[in-house]
C-alpha cells in the first residue's frame, strides 16, 4: 500500500522473510491477519508500558504496574490453603522491602533451576494486595547484575494484541525487527503541500517510532494515541479513502444524466389529496431532491429521517417527478413486509392520480411475476415496489429514471450500483430510518449528498420509555390490560438467541404460549420471519383492522409496520438489542395522537453497563443522539451488523476517536479531487497510484491511475 514505490515488493514479502519466522509461527501470525511485512508494520501497539524509571519495592502501590529490581530471597513450590493447588512463589527484596512473585502455570524443575537465591531480577508487573502482603502474578522477568542497570533496559515498551501460542516478547521482537529493517521502504505519497500544512511526518519515521519509541518521547501523547506519529498514519489512511469517495461522487456527477422538468403534473394534485400538510423539514428536503433531479448529472443522495418523520411521502413525491417526465421509478425495501407496506401506501395515492404501481417479491407466483415484468419492459408500469427480487437480471425497465433504496444499511454498497445499471444513469435516493451518526456518515455514505428530515409531524406526543425487570411482570401485565381496555393495541417483541429457523420459531411460539396464559382473554397474533409472506400479510392486516389486540413478534417488525392505534411496545430481553435497533422498534408505536409507551424488560443477568446503556433510551427520543451513543458503545461494525459490505476497514484510524482528523482529511481530499487536471497531472501520479492500490477495487475506481 505504498503507491509508486520501488520498495513495494519488499513490503509484500511473506513474514517468513523475517528471522525466526517458520511455518508454525507464520500460522499463528495469520490468525492475527498478518501475512506480509507490510501487515506487520501497520500492526500497531494498542498501548505502551513506561519502563523508563526504577521503583523501590517500598514504593509499590496495589493497582499500579512498576519496573523494579530485586534479589531472590527464597524460591519454592508451595501448596495453596485448600491443599490442592500448587503455586510457585519467589520472594524478592531490595534495601527498602520485599514483594512476593507468584506463578500458577509453570514447569517445576525449570523454575527451580531458573530462580535461585541471590540472583538479581529486573521485574515488571501489576502489584496486587492479598492476605496482608503485596504480590505480583506472572510478572515479566529479565535477569541482570547487581551493578547499575544498563540504560537500554530502561525504555518504553509497546504492547500488541496476541493470539494463542504467541507471547508478547515474541511479537514485540518481530515488530521491532520489521520496523528496523523495512520501515524505510514505506514512502509517503501525500502531496507535499498537505504534509507541510499539517506538519505530517514521513510514514517510515512514524512507523519506526510507534514500534520503537524513544526514551525521550511524550509518553502521555503516545499512550493516548495523540502524538504526531500516529496522527500522520491516521491522516494518510483517511485521506486516500476520502479521495476515493470524492472521485466516486464526482464520477456520478460528471456522468451525463437527464435534467427533469418539475412541472408539478402529479405532485400538486397529490399534495391536495393528502389529509395532512407537509412539515417544513419535508418541504426543505423535497426541495433539495428537486434541485438534484433538475440538474444535468444524476442525483446521488441519502435521505435520513427518524422513525415517523415522513420519508415515505417525500419518496413518493420524488417518484412522481420522474413519472411526470415520462420515466419510471423503483422503490426497493429489505423485507417483504416493508415492501408490501410501501406498496399499499403508494397504491392508494397512485391510483387516485391515474397511474400504475406493482409489487415484486421473491415469493410471487410465476404468472403474476411474468405479467409485471412485461408491463415494466413496455413502460406500461410507472412505479415498481420490490425487495431483493428487483436485482434479478430479467427485471428490465423501459426507462428507469429514479431508483430509491429504503433502509439502505440492510443492503451492500454494490447493490446500490447494480440498481443504477438498470437505467440510463438514473437518479438515486437511498433512505434510512436508522439515524447514521455524522462520523459514520462521512465514511459509509461519504460519496452521497445528505438530507435530513429532523422534524416529526405535529400532534404526536413523545413516547414514554421505561426499564422494567422480571420481578415487575405482574405490574407490566396489569398496565398492558389497562391500555387494551382503552381500545389500544400492543406489541410484544422477543429477540433471537441464534439466527436459525428452529430458534426463531421456538422463540416466537414459546412467547405466544406464555402470553396466552397471562392475557388469553384478548386476541393474540403471531408474526415471525419464517412465516410465508401471505401469512405475514394476513396477520398484519388482522392487526391493522383491529381484529387482533396483541401482536407477538420477533424483530421482523423492526421496520415498516404502521398501526397508529398501537400504543404499547414491550421488548423482552432488551439488553440483547443495540440502542439503534431498540429505537427502531420503539418507532412502531407513537404513530398517532395517542400517548404511547415503550417498556424495556431486562433479564436478571443484565449487567450494570447494560442497564446504563438502556437508560439512554429512557432519557432520549432523539434517534441521532441514541445512534451516537450506540456507535460509541458498540463500534461501527456491530452498529451496522454483518450485512453492510461497504464499511471501510481501517487498519489504524478509528472513526469515533479520530473524527477531527477524518473531517480534515475529507476536506483536503475533496479539494484535491476538484483540481481540474487531477486525473492527468504528473504531479499527482503517485497519489493516483496509491489510491488505486489501496481502494481501487473496494471503491470500484478501476479508471484511477
- Per-residue model confidence as pLDDT tens digits over 66-100: 999 999 999 999 987 666 788 999 999 999 999 99
Residue 558 lies in a domain: yes
Q: In this structure, are 57 and 44 located in the same domain?
A: no
* Backbone φ, ψ for residue 369 (5° rounding): -65, -45
pLDDT bracket for residue 1 (50, 70, 90): very low
Q: Are 8 and 2 in contact (CB under 8 A)?
A: yes
Find the length of the chain. 705
For the chain, what is the domain count? 4
pLDDT bracket for residue 639 (50, 70, 90): low
Helix 533-544 with 336-352: angle, nearest 10 deg: 60
For 355-406, the pLDDT digits (tens) are 999 999 988 889 999 999 999 999 999 999 999 999 999 999 999 999 999 8
Q: What is the rounded CA–CA span in Å between residue 49 and residue 599?
A: 46
Higher pLDDT pick, 165 / 84: 165
Q: In this predicted structure, what is the pLDDT of residue 82?
A: 63
What does the pLDDT average to over 141-162? 80
Higher pLDDT pick, 529 / 561: 529
Q: In this structure, are 425 and 511 located in the same domain?
A: no
Q: In this structure, are 481 and 607 located in the same domain?
A: yes
Query: 467-472 contacts: CB < 8 A, separation 24 or more?
Result: 467/574, 467/600, 467/602, 467/611, 467/614, 467/615, 467/617, 467/618, 468/599, 468/600, 468/601, 468/602, 469/601, 469/602, 469/603, 469/604, 469/606, 470/601, 470/603, 470/604
Q: Are 349 and 273 in contact (CB under 8 A)?
A: yes
Higher pLDDT pick, 592 / 512: 512
Q: In this predicted structure, what is the pLDDT of residue 73?
A: 96
pTM: 0.73
User: Please, which residues have CB within 8 angstroms of residue 355's CB and are 6 or more apart in sequence?
Assistant: 266, 323, 382, 383
Q: In this structure, are 320 and 400 located in the same domain?
A: yes
Higher pLDDT pick, 22 / 584: 22
Higher pLDDT pick, 37 / 439: 37
Higher pLDDT pick, 639 / 697: 697
Q: In this predicted structure, what is the pLDDT of residue 3?
A: 43
pLDDT bracket for residue 283 (50, 70, 90): very high
Q: In this predicted structure, what is the pLDDT of residue 455?
A: 81
Which stretch of 138-142, 446-450, 486-490 has the lowest confidence by average pLDDT?
446-450
Q: How is residue 626 written as a grid cell?
A: 441514541
Count helices and strands (H / E) in the chain.
24, 21
What does the pLDDT average to over 592-609? 90
Q: What is the rounded CA–CA span in Å between residue 673 and residue 671?
A: 6
Q: In this structure, are 598 and 503 located in the same domain?
A: yes
Q: In this predicted structure, what is the pLDDT of residue 494?
A: 87
Q: In this structure, are 24 and 69 located in the same domain?
A: no
Q: Which of 289, 286, 414, 404 is nearest to 338 (CA)?
A: 404
Query: 349-354 contacts: CB < 8 A, separation 24 or more?
Result: 349/270, 349/273, 349/274, 349/316, 350/316, 350/382, 350/383, 352/270, 352/273, 353/266, 353/269, 353/270, 353/273, 353/320
Q: Are 562 and 541 in contact (CB under 8 A)?
A: no
Q: In this structure, are 120 and 57 located in the same domain?
A: yes
Q: In this structure, are 436 and 552 located in the same domain?
A: no
Beta strands in 217-344 (DSSP E): 300-305, 328-332
Which stretch of 66-70, 282-286, 490-494, 559-563 has the lowest confidence by average pLDDT?
559-563
CA distances from 563 to 2, 92, 385, 533, 566 (A): 55, 72, 21, 19, 6
CA distances from 120 to 58, 91, 108, 205, 550 (A): 17, 12, 20, 36, 74
Mean pLDDT estimate for the chain:
87
Q: Are 295 and 254 in contact (CB under 8 A)?
A: no
Q: Is the pLDDT of residue 6 over 60?
A: no
Q: What is the rounded CA–CA span in Å between residue 638 and residue 461?
A: 31
Q: What is the rounded CA–CA span in Å between residue 542 and residue 548?
A: 6
Q: Which of 409, 431, 453 is the last residue of a domain?
A: 453
Q: Is the pLDDT of residue 103 over 70?
A: yes
Q: In this structure, are 437 and 522 located in the same domain?
A: no
Residue 564 lies in a domain: yes
Q: Is the pLDDT of residue 43 over 70?
A: yes
Q: In this structure, are 86 and 125 located in the same domain?
A: yes
pLDDT bracket for residue 449 (50, 70, 90): confident
Angle CA 570–573–577, to nearest 5: 95
Q: Is the pLDDT of residue 497 over 60?
A: no
How many Å is the Cα radius of gyration of the chain?
31
Residue 199 lies in a domain: yes
What does the pLDDT average to over 515-533? 87
pLDDT bracket for residue 63 (50, 70, 90): very high
Q: In this predicted structure, what is the pLDDT of residue 228?
A: 96
Q: Are 604 and 577 in contact (CB under 8 A)?
A: no
For 220-230, the pLDDT digits (tens) are 999 999 999 99
Q: Which of 453, 487, 516 is the last residue of a domain?
A: 453
Q: In this predicted structure, what is the pLDDT of residue 2?
A: 41
CA distances from 578 to 273, 583, 645, 697 (A): 39, 9, 19, 31
For 292-343, the pLDDT digits (tens) are 999 988 998 999 887 778 899 999 999 999 999 999 999 999 888 788 888 9
Burial label for 399, CB within 10 Å (0-12, 13-18, 19+), is: middle
Q: In this structure, are 31 and 14 located in the same domain?
A: yes
For 230-240, the pLDDT digits (tens) are 999 999 999 99
Within a 13 Å sphere around the CA of 375, how many CA atoms are in the beta-carbon half?
Answer: 17
CATH code for the domain in which residue 86 is found? 2.40.50.140
The most confident of the ranges 199-203, 404-408, 601-605 is 199-203
Residue 433 lies in a domain: yes
Q: Are 525 and 543 in contact (CB under 8 A)?
A: yes
CATH code for the domain in which residue 471 is found? 3.40.50.300
Q: Is the pLDDT of residue 504 over 70?
A: no
Residue 687 lies in a domain: no
Q: Is the pLDDT of residue 282 over 50?
A: yes
Residue 611 lies in a domain: yes
Q: Which of 104, 135, 153 is the last residue of a domain?
A: 153
Q: In this predicted structure, what is the pLDDT of residue 23?
A: 93
Q: How is residue 254 written as a grid cell?
A: 460528471
The residues that bridge with 550 in the sheet, in sequence order, are 490, 524
Domain that holds residue 415: 267-453
Which residue blocks in 70-202 are alpha helix, DSSP H? 108-114, 168-182, 192-197
DSSP secondary-structure letter at 462?
P
Q: Are 133 and 169 in contact (CB under 8 A)?
A: no
Residue 653 lies in a domain: no
Residue 206 lies in a domain: yes
Higher pLDDT pick, 384 / 152: 384
What does the pLDDT average to over 474-479? 95
Q: In this structure, are 175 and 147 located in the same domain?
A: no
Q: Which of 151, 150, 129, 155 is nearest to 140 (CA)?
A: 155
For 411-447, the pLDDT digits (tens) are 666 677 788 889 888 999 999 877 777 777 788 778 8
Angle CA 638–644–646, to nearest 5: 120
Q: Which of 157, 175, 158 is nearest to 43 (CA)?
A: 175
Burial label for 143, CB within 10 Å (0-12, 13-18, 19+), is: exposed
What does the pLDDT average to over 556-573? 80
Q: In this predicted structure, what is the pLDDT of residue 291?
A: 95
Which stretch of 89-93, 285-289, 317-321, 531-535 has the lowest confidence by average pLDDT?
531-535
Amino acid at each position: 500500500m505504498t503507491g509508486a514505490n520501488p520498495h513495494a515488493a519488499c513490503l509484500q514479502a511473506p513474514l517468513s522473510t523475517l528471522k525466526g519466522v517458520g511455518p508454525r509461527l507464520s500460522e499463528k501470525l495469520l490468525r492475527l491477519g498478518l501475512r506480509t511485512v507490510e501487515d506487520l508494520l501497520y500492526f500497531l501497539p494498542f498501548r505502551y508500558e513506561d519502563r523508563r524509571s526504577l521503583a523501590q519495592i517500598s514504593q509499590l502501590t496495589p493497582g499500579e504496574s512498576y519496573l523494579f529490581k530485586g534479589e531472590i530471597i527464597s524460591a519454592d513450590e508451595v501448596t495453596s490453603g485448600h491443599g490442592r493447588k500448587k503455586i510457585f512463589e519467589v520472594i524478592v527484596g531490595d534495601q527498602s522491602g520485599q514483594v512476593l512473585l507468584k506463578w500458577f502455570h509453570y514447569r517445576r524443575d525449570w523454575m527451580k533451576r531458573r530462580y535461585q537465591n541471590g540472583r538479581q531480577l529486573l521485574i515488571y508487573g501489576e502489584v496486587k494486595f492479598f492476605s496482608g502482603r503485596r504480590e505480583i502474578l506472572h510478572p515479566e522477568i529479565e535477569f541482570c547484575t547487581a551493578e547499575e542497570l544498563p540504560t537500554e533496559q530502561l525504555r518504553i515498551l509497546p504492547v500488541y494484541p496476541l493470539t494463542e501460542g504467541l507471547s508478547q516478547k515474541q511479537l514485540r521482537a518481530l515488530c521491532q525487527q520489521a520496523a528496523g529493517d523495512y520501515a524505510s521502504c514505506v514512502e509517503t505519497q501525500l502531496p507535499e503541500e498537505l504534509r507541510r500544512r499539517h506538519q505530517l511526518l514521513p510514514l517510515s519515521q512514524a512507523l519506526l517510532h510507534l514500534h520503537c519509541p524513544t526514551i525521550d518521547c511524550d509518553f502521555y501523547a503516545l499512550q493516548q494515541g495523540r502524538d504526531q506519529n500516529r496522527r500522520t498514519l491516521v491522516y494518510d489512511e483517511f485521506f486516500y479513502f476520502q479521495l476515493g469517495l470524492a472521485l466516486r461522487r464526482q464520477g456520478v456527477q460528471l456522468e451525463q444524466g437527464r435534467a427533469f422538468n418539475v412541472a408539478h403534473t402529479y405532485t400538486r394534485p397529490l399534495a391536495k389529496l393528502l389529509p395532512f400538510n407537509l412539515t417544513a423539514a419535508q418541504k426543505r428536503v423535497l426541495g433539495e431532491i428537486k434541485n438534484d433531479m433538475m440538474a444535468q448529472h444524476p442525483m446521488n443522495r441519502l435521505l435520513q429521517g427518524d422513525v415517523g418523520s415522513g420519508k415515505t411521502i417525500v419518496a413518493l413525491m420524488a417518484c412522481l417527478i420522474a413519472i411526470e417526465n415520462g420515466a419510471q421509478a423503483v422503490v426497493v425495501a429489505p423485507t417483504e413486509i416493508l415492501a408490501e407496506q410501501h406498496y399499499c401506501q403508494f397504491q392508494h395515492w397512485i391510483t387516485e392520480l391515474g397511474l400504475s404501481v406493482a409489487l415484486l417479491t421473491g415469493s410471487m407466483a410465476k404468472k403474476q411475476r411474468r405479467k409485471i415484468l412485461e408491463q415494466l419492459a413496455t413502460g406500461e408500469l410507472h412505479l415498481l415496489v420490490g425487495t431483493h427480487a428487483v436485482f434479478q437480471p430479467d427485471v428490465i425497465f423501459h426507462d428507469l429514471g429514479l431508483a430509491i433504496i429504503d433502509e439502505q444499511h440492510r443492503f451492500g454498497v454494490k447493490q446500490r450500483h447494480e440498481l443504477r445499471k438498470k437505467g440510463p444513469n438514473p437518479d438515486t435516493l437511498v433512505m434510512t430510518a436508522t439515524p447514521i451518526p455524522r462520523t459514520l456518515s462521512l465514511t459509509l455514505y461519504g460519496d452521497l449528498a445528505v438530507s435530513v428530515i429532523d422534524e416529526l409531524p405535529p400532534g404526536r406526543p413523545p413516547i414514554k420509555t421505561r426499564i422494567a425487570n422480571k420481578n415487575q411482570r405482574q405490574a407490566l401485565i396489569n398496565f398492558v390490560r389497562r391500555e387494551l381496555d382503552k381500545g389500544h393495541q400492543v406489541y410484544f417483541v422477543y429477540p433471537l438467541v441464534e439466527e436459525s429457523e428452529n430458534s426463531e420459531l421456538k422463540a416466537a411460539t414459546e412467547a405466544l404460549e406464555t402470553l396466552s396464559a397471562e392475557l388469553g382473554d384478548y386476541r393474540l397474533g403471531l408474526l415471525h420471519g419464517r412465516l410465508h409472506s401471505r401469512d405475514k400479510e394476513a396477520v398484519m392486516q388482522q392487526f391493522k383492522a383491529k381484529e387482533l389486540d396483541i401482536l407477538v413478534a420477533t424483530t421482523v417488525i423492526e421496520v415498516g409496520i404502521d398501526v397508529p392505534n398501537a400504543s404499547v411496545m414491550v421488548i423482552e430481553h432488551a439488553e440483547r438489542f443495540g440502542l439503534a435497533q431498540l429505537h427502531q422498534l420503539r418507532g412502531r408505536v407513537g404513530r398517532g395522537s395517542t400517548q404511547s409507551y415503550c417498556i424495556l424488560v431486562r433479564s436478571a443477568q443484565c449487567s450494570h453497563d447494560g442497564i446504563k446503556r438502556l437508560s439512554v433510551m429512557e432519557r432520549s427520543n432523539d434517534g441521532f443522539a441514541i445512534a451516537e451513543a450506540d456507535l460509541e458503545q458498540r463500534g461501527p461494525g456491530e452498529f451496522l451488523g454483518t450485512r453492510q459490505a461497504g464499511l471501510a476497514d481501517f487498519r489504524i484510524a478509528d472513526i469515533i476517536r479520530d473524527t477531527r482528523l477524518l473531517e480534515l482529511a475529507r476536506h483536503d481530499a475533496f479539494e484535491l479531487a476538484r483540481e481540474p487536471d487531477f486525473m492527468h497531472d504528473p504531479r499527482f501520479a503517485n497519489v493516483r497510484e496509491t489510491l488505486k492500490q489501496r481502494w481501487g477495487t473496494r471503491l470500484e475506481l478501476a479508471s484511477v491511475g
